A and B are shown apart, each in its own frame.
Chain A
Amino acid sequence: MTSCPPKLHSLADLRELQRSMATALMSPLTRDDALRASFKDSAQALIQPRAKLDSFDRLEIYARQYWFRLLDCLYDDYPGLRALLGERRFHQLSRAYLAAHPSESWTMRNLGRHLEAFIREQPKLTGTKQRIAIDVARFEWAQVLAFDEAALKPLNIDKLLGSDPATFTLKLQPHVSLLALDHAIDDWFIAVRNTEHVSRSETSNARIESRALTKTKRVPLPKLQKLWLVVHRSGTDIYFKRLDREAWLLLHSLSEGKTLLTAIESALADATFDRDWSAQVREWFQSWAALGWFTH
């Protein structure tokens, strides 16, 4: 590691100073939430000591502030994962995740973007609950999207019905997520939510102290069950909607840019003949269009 220049002559020097400080702030704290002793030299090269606090102590304030602020954000955005793993384990997962994936966005809203992938890559961190944790992380990220992604101009149902299915394609609204899950996460999440107040975090310019661990009431683990789910927004509220497997497959194909005809054919490839599928498909489209899920 190059040390910080004692005098700043150029933009490159400023960058070096900032890189040096950011490296200290973003590297994991010790178990006691202290800055690692290996940053003593960096601190001395950067920061003026004063009577009350030396260089290291001052750098440590910023390091702690960095970690507590980002941990708080995950804490607020992942109440389900927190309930599933317990406070302590969730905290460990969050620290490991942030060490591997520092924020790469001006908004903390995107902080959990890689969490599902990280849980897959690091099975030890969630142990026997890994499969459920993956489902919960996906479900909660979908809620982040449903909260404030765009609702574009919805597609008119008449336009859809009057189209040529062999060529017609459409898009799903950015706030709509399609999730194929292996556990009944929706019911479980509602039970968890009822045990504590849940709200999305928002940016403020003062976030200083570590949050005390709180006890959450245990909710039984979610049942093993194949779930075809849509997470979306209606008005300003977030909703979860269970679909039939065929309906979900149809939407999924459409979201991948398949034509209406191809999407319907592939969704119904394994369908049984005991239902009037054409009436069913029409009914689906009517309800989805009414929810405003389609756009151009």
Chain B
Amino acid sequence: MRDFEYTAPSTLREAVKLLSEKGEAARVLAGGTDLIVQLRARRFQPERVVDVKNIPEVNELSVSPRKGLRIGAAVPCHRIYADEGVKEQFAGLTDASMIIGGIQIQGRASLGGNLCNASPSADSIPALIAYGAEAEVIGPDGKRKIAVEDFCTGPGSNALKPGEMLVAIRMPLPKNNSGGHYLRFIPRNEMDIAVVGAGAFVELGGRSKTRVFKSARIALAAVAPTPLLVAEAGASLEGQPVTEETIAAAAAIAQEAARPISDMRGPAEYRRHLVGVLTKRALIGAVKRANGEFVPNAVQSNGHPVYQLS
């Protein structure tokens, strides 16, 4: 690894200054689980690394009725899945943060880093998109917000301009009768990269026997150059009854929208098939959670959750 200047500012203002001075030759360090590997592989050879973990705003994790959920850009996964407020209101984020890498990686890796690294297969991004999350960014020209679905611009590239950094990810508190779920397919039990991932968020209305979808959001991983919001699939459910048929129709739309490639993790056709299966499951899991049922994620139980509408 080439040597560089290591800086650890304690305010956003200082961090922006340190980043702006170097432009493309500066990199932000949060958990380091992607950056340090990339430095070693010489994918980046920055002159300056700005460790942002001493800045209070990027370490904050808070849930409040008025402001919703705020996840500081450097908050590691293990703090996210241990948080009761997140578990209760944003179970789909708990799902995602529990399956990124192993325990050692989860001790350091942040959802902010997962987002900035902009991998098409990033597990947390579809979950964030499903919840309607926004990225809060600061730079030499002040603060701005970017919808998470617009944040990634290609494999490994994002919408940040030189001198800008991600401060936090925020999203509104879900209304009553809503739920979210994220799941992925990997050929192993743990420690792998999604062949396909699917996240869903639903808000339900109607009575318990005649539930209807008020709104739905569906997002996919590893089937396009960036994590993908499939707005049409969510929109197709609006006002529709909660049935196997309406869910299958939304999953078919997601399959249409997917643009998978063939690579060592799987051929494109296989991925397209998985999009159908996983979208249905993500929606069913989200519906069950909206109905107040416990739906375990891939690592919370020995068995697998049952993806059937009851």
B and A form one assembly = no
Contacts from A to B (Cβ < 8 Å): none
